[in-house]
Structure 1
Amino acid sequence: MKYKKIVCAVGIVWFSHAAYADSYIQSTLSTLPQFNTALLNNGISLYGVADVGINYQSVGGKTLWQTQSGGVHTSQFGFFGREDLGGGLKAEFNLESGFELNNGSLQTSQTIFDRESWVGLSSTTWGALRVGRQTTANLPEFADPFGEVVTNSVVTWLAGGAVQTRRGIGYNADLGPGSSQVLVRESNAVSWTTPRVGGFGATFLYAFNGTQGVSPYASNQGVVASWTNASLYLATAYNQVWSAPVATASGKQTVRNDIYGVAAIYDVGTFVLSAAFNQVAPNLAGNGIARSYMLGGTLPFGPHALRASIVYRDTSGVRDSAGRPAKDSALGVMLGYDYNLSKRTGLYTRAGFIRNYGISSVILNGTPLPTQPGSTAPEQGTTPLTVSLGMYHKF
C-alpha cells in the first residue's frame, strides 16, 4: 500500500472559499508561494518547500533514530501557470512533485509529479474546472492543526485508518475485505469547484479507475460542500470509493465504501479551534464500520505557535481472527510548537502517540508494529510514539 503524502494542497480551495485577512490559516497559507494569489497573473512560477528533521520513534520496546523529511510541510517543488483569457476566464495548470529531503529520492517511485498534475479553466462566474491528478473532494486538511502530514499527525494515521494486519498495512483493513478510505489525491479525475455565493460553495469530483473490465468505471466520486463567514468554516463531505477487486464470500468483486464527514473550524486569528467526524462504511455484508472523532487547536502568539490534536477511532462489527466480536478502538494525541524565524523559514518540534485497545493495530509515522513471535500478525495493545525536531524553508 502506498501512502499519499499530505500537506497544503487544500489551500487553493481554502483561498477561494475563505479569504479573510484576520484568518490565521489564511495568513499561514499565504506564505506558501503556490497559494499566494498575487504570485502571477500571466506566466509560470516555480515554488516549493524544503523540510527535514531528526525523528525518534518507539513501539513495542523497539526504538528508531533517523532524519526524516516533511515534519510540517511535505518537501516539494512545483510549477504553477496561468493565462488570462479575458472576460474573467483563465487557463491554469499545476505540476507538483514530492521528494524526500533527507536522501533526495522521489516521494513516489517512478512518478515525477505525484502530488498535482492537472490543467483547467477558472472563472469568477462559473468556478474552476480541472482535469488530471488532483486533490479529492473531502474535508479540509486544516481541520487538523498539523495539516494531515504523513509524519507528525495522528489524524493522518488514526482517522485515516492505517491498520496493520497479517497481510500488511491497509486503509481500514480491520473492517473486512475491500475496506478503503478517501485518498488525498486521485489520478484520472475531473472536478468542478463552484463560485462561492452567500458564503456557500462546493466541489464535485469524479475519478475514473482506468482499468479495463473493472466495474464500475469510477474509483472515487465525491462532493464536499461548505459555508464560511469571517471566522467560521463548516464543511460536509460524502464520497463513494471503490476498492480493487478482492476475494469475498460471493467471489472476486470490487467493494464500495461510503464515507461521510463533517468538520468545523473557528479561526479568529488569535486562536483556531477545530472539530471533525468521519465514518467509513464498506458496502459488504460482514464488514465493520469505523468512526473517528477529532478535536484540535492552534494558539499563535508573535513568532510562536502551539498546536494540539486528539483523535479517537472506534469500530463496530469487527471480528478477531477466530471470527468472534472484538473490541477495536484507539486514541491518538499530538502536540507541537513552531518558531517562525521569518515568513518563509521556521523551526518546529512535534511529539505524539497512538494507544491501541483490543485488537486495534493502527501505526504511526509509517513505522510498522512489531509482530507476534513466529507470526506475521502485529502485536496488540501497542502504543507507537514519535518525537521530531526540525526546520523548513519555503521558496
Structure 2
Amino acid sequence: MNKTVLVIFITSGFAAPLAYAQSSVTLYGIIDNGVSYVNSSASSLTTKGARLIGAATSFGSGDRLGFTGKEDLGGGSSAIFTLESGFSGNTGALSQGGRLFGRQSFVGLSDRNDGTLTMGRQYDYTFDYVAPMTSWLQFGSIYGAHIGDVDDTFQTYRLNNSVKYQVTPIPGLQVGGLYAFSNQSGGSNGAGFANNRAWSLGARYDNGPLGFATSYLTLNSPSSGQSATNNPNGAVGDEYSLPSSIFYNEGFVNRQSIFAAATAYTISALRLNFMYSDTQLTYQGNRSLRVDNYELNGKYQMTPAFSIGLGYIFTNGSGFTGTGAQSYADGTHPKWHQIDFGVSYQLSKNTDLHLSTVYQRAAGDATEAAINVIGPAGIDKKSQMLVATGLRYRF
C-alpha cells in the first residue's frame, strides 16, 4: 500500500550541538463506495421487511483516514501513536457514534525486545488475532460477519480507557493482554470499579504455511454504556447496541465472555481457514444465552490481480427463554446458516473492484434472518440475501 509519509528531522538546537532522534508521521486511508441490493430489510425484528436498493459505502473495508507516528528513542525503543477516524464515503459523516477518532486512538512505547505498550481506544485481541481468518476480512465485506457480531469479530465496539501490551517471545509467536477501565469509582446502585470494564488475552502464531490464533474477552456490564445515567464513559460506549445487534438488544447485559480460536493453512495460491467462537451472555433477571459460531472459508488467488473466496458459517444458539428472545426465536435453540462469497480485481496496487454476496437462513427455533450491519429481514422472513459491488481506493 502506498502511503504519504511526512518525515521530520531535528538535528540541532540553538546554542548547543544537541541531536534528536528521527521522527515520522504517516497519513493513510481507504474510501470504498458502491451499490447494494437486499431482498428484504426491516427497521426492527418486529416490523415488515421490504426490498432495498441503494448506495453503499465502507463495506469492503471501512472508510477511514488515519495518522500513525513513530519516534526513535534509541536502543531499539520508539514512541508511537495512531489516530484513525471512520467516516461515510457517501455523506462524509463521521462513523463510530460521531467520534473524531472513533476507529483507534492510542499512544505508547515499543521496544524490539520488550514488546509494545499502548493506551487509549483500541481493538481487543479477538479482532487483532482471530478475526483476520474470517470470511469478511479474508475476501468478503462487512455484511459477511457473524450474525449480531455476537463474538466481536466485526468490532461493533472498540474498548475505551484501555491499556494493551503485546510481545513476541519467539519468532512467529505474539502474545498480549489488555485491560479497559470503567473509569468509575466504587459505589452502590450498580455503580463501581467493575461497572463497564473489560479485559482480553490473546496469542497468535504464524510461521510458513500454518497459522493459529486464540483469544478471550470478558465485558462486565457493557450495556451501561447505553445509559447517560449509568456509565457511558466506561470501556464500552454507545456503539455496543446497533440495530443489527439482535443479541445485545434483548435486555441489559450484565456480562459477556467470548472465547475464540482459528487456524489457517496455505497451499500455494489457496488459503484455508477454520474459526470457532463461544460467546456467553448473562442478562439481568438471571437469563442467559450461549452462541457458538463455526466458520470454514477459503480464498484462492487465481492471478496476481484476481482473487475469489467462499465461506460457510453455522451459528448455534441455546438458552435465553425470556420474553425478549421471542423477537428472534420461538424456542431455546435458534440456529442460522450463512454463505459468504466474494471476488476482487486489482486495477492497480491501490485500487480494486470488488463484489460480495451474503445469504443467510434462519433454522431451528430462529424465526428471522439478520445479516450483519443490514439488520433484520423482517417479521417471518427466515432468509435474507445481499449483493454489493464497489470501487475501493487505498492510500
Q: TM-score, normalised on structure 1?
A: 0.76
Letter in 1 for 2:122: Q
Within 5 Å, which residues of 2 pair with 1:11-30? none
* CA drift at 1:369: 2.6
Letter in 2 for 1:220: A
Letter in 2 for 1:52: N
Write the deviation string for residues 1-36 of structure 1: whole angstroms up to 9, x where unpaired: xxxxxxxxxxxxxxxxxxxxxxxxxxxxxx37499x
**Higher Cα radius of gyration:** 2
Letter in 2 for 1:161: V
Equivalent residue for 1:329? 335
Equivalent residue for 1:236? 214
Residue aligned with 2:301, SS: strand
Letter in 2 for 1:383: S
Relative to structure 1, the CA distance from residue 183 to residue 100 in structure 2 (aligned partners, 3 Å threshold; closer, same or farther) is closer
**Counterparts of 1:87 and 1:118 in 2: how far apart (Å)?**
23
Equivalent residue for 1:98? 86
Letter in 1 for 2:204: S
CA contact (8 A) 1:181 1:241 kept: no
Once the two structures are overlaid, the 10-residue window that deviates more, 77-86 or 301-310, is 301-310
Letter in 1 for 2:168: P
Letter in 1 for 2:110: S
CA RMSD across the alignment: 3.0
Once the two structures are overlaid, the 10-residue window that deviates more, 73-82 or 309-318, is 309-318
Residue aligned with 1:142, SS: helix
Structure 2 unaligned segments of length 5 or more: list them.
6-21, 42-48, 228-250
CA contact (8 A) 1:356 1:380 kept: no
CA contact (8 A) 1:152 1:351 kept: no
Relative to structure 1, the CA distance from residue 283 to residue 57 in structure 2 (aligned partners, 3 Å threshold; closer, same or farther) is closer
CA contact (8 A) 1:257 1:283 kept: yes
Once the two structures are overlaid, the 10-residue window that deviates more, 297-306 or 352-361, is 352-361
CA contact (8 A) 1:71 1:149 kept: no
Residues 1:126 and 2:133 aligned together: no
Equivalent residue for 1:145? 135
Letter in 2 for 1:296: N
Within 5 Å, which residues of 2 pair with 1:160-199? 160-161=149-150, 185-199=158-172
CA contact (8 A) 1:182 1:239 kept: no
Equivalent residue for 1:113? 101
Equivalent residue for 1:79? 67
**Counterparts of 2:376 and 2:174 in 1: how far apart (Å)?**
41
Residue aligned with 2:165, SS: strand
CA contact (8 A) 1:80 1:95 kept: yes
Write the deviation string for residues 180-210 of structure 1: whole angstroms up to 9, x where unpaired: 9975521111000012414332110001123
Relative to structure 1, the CA distance from residue 44 to residue 181 in structure 2 (aligned partners, 3 Å threshold; closer, same or farther) is closer
Relative to structure 1, the CA distance from residue 74 to residue 370 in structure 2 (aligned partners, 3 Å threshold; closer, same or farther) is closer
Letter in 1 for 2:373: G
Letter in 1 for 2:175: A
Write the deviation string for residues 311-346 of structure 1: whole angstroms up to 9, x where unpaired: 111012232639884331101111011000111100
Relative to structure 1, the CA distance from residue 132 to residue 334 in structure 2 (aligned partners, 3 Å threshold; closer, same or farther) is same
Q: TM-score, normalised on structure 2?
A: 0.76
Within 5 Å, which residues of 2 pair with 1:189-268? 189-212=162-185, 213=187, 214-215=191-192, 216=194, 219-243=197-221, 244-245=223-224, 255-268=254-267
Equivalent residue for 1:385? 385
Structure 1 unaligned segments of length 5 or more: list them.
1-30, 36-40, 163-170, 172-179, 247-251, 372-378
Residues 1:310 and 2:312 aligned together: yes
**Identity rate, percent:** 24
**Counterparts of 2:258 and 2:203 in 1: how far apart (Å)?**
14
Residue aligned with 2:100, SS: coil
In the alignment of these two chains, the number of paired residues is: 332
* CA drift at 1:256: 2.2
Equivalent residue for 1:287? 288
CA contact (8 A) 2:86 2:95 kept: yes
